[in-house]
Structure formats: C-alpha cells, structure tokens
Amino acid sequence: MHSTSATPSTTAVSRSAFSSVPTPTATSQTDVTIDMSSGSGLSFSGSWASSSSSCGSGTSKTVSSDGVTEAQFSELSYSFRGSAIYVKTSSSNANYIIELDGNSTNYGQNTGWTTPPPNCTYGWWLDNLDSTLHFLTISIYAGGKSITKRAVEPFTFELHNFVIAQNIYSSSSSPGATAATSSPTGGNWYRFGFGW
C-alpha cells in the first residue's frame, strides 16, 4: 500500500531509508505518528532519557554512554494494529535490534549485522502487514562491537518517532490501533545466549 512489499526477516536486511513517510495510496488509510513525548502505550525499560530531537522540533528518547559511565541494556515495547510501520532513528556507534512479531534486524558493527540507516530517516520499515495485533521491540545493547548487556564504550541511540499506516474508521467504530502498555512477551528475554 505504501511501497515495495517487505517481509519480516530474521537476517540482516538493507532497504531504502525515507526522509519522510510515503503518502498512503489508499483513500481508506491514514498515517498516524507516535511521537516520544506522548508516552501513549510506550513501555520503556533501562536508561532512556527524554531530549530535544536532533532532527528538528519535538522530543526524542535517547540511550547513551560517554565511554566512562557503564551503559545499561535498554528496551522499548509497543503494540499496534496497522498495515505498515516506519521507525525514525539516529545513532552513533550503537548496537541495536528492531524486532516486529519475533522477526528482527540487527544494526551495528558486528560481523553480519546491518549498517545503521542514515540519521534522521525512516530507515527501518515494514509494510503489507496483516490486521492482527503487532508487537514491536527496540533493544539497545551497547557501543562498538559489544553485544553484552552492559558495556563501557561511547555510543548514542535516539528514537524520534514511529509512523503507522492505519485504516480510517467511521465514527461508530473504534480506531483500532492503540498500543498495549505491557511488554509483548513478558518475563525475561533470551538473546545471543545471554539470559536476562
């Protein structure tokens, strides 16, 4: 509906980064922006901080380390209904994973990981999603080549917003794509053999 079809992948993928989200081609759809100042349905854990967006106006959420202070593993969870999602980020020396419905893309300097998209772009996106509830997580690990829970290397990861393509509903029906406030999986996660 927006652009070339994309299927979630468990391997590193590279696709076009958008400076702005494509306009919906269907008249029955609209784009809904989830900004980081609203907090609506966004669930944060770890060491996120609010800051002025480095990409212009608005508020972003940032995880960073100066290379002296130990950085804590941090994660965002969000659930939604919609046919597409676009995630706008900026990063420097950060290792992070964006995951939708259990399918992930790893960004960073590690062998086999994808080079992060250009800053201030919608560099991670998926479209042609079905009408079920979708679960998004963004996990920030550390800087450099570390994939451990904590690391002492300078890095910054900045999350600006999401844009979700949703169906337009009549006034008698529910908008249908509000977020859940709890983590989609609950409990501890196991990634790369580390139990957290």
Query: So what's the pLDDT on residue 180?
Result: 33
DSSP state of 161: E
Distance CA(120)–CA(126), nearest Å, equals 17
Domains of the chain: 29-168 (2.60.120.260)
CA distances from 67 to 64, 138, 151, 152 (A): 9, 22, 9, 5
**C-beta separation of 32 from 166 below 8 A:** yes
Residue 8 has pLDDT above 70, yes or no: no
Bridge partners, residue 137, by sequence: 77, 99
pLDDT, tens digit (0-9, with 9 covering 90-100), for 28-81: 788 888 888 876 789 999 989 998 888 887 889 999 888 777 777 899 999 999
pTM as predicted: 0.74
Distance CA(156)–CA(158), nearest Å, equals 7
Which amino acid appears at position 73 of this protein?
F
pLDDT, tens digit (0-9, with 9 covering 90-100), for 155-167: 899 999 999 998 8
Distance CA(78)–CA(139), nearest Å, equals 12
Which amino acid appears at position 25 of this protein?
T
> Vertex 97, ends 69 and 23: CA angle to 5°?
120
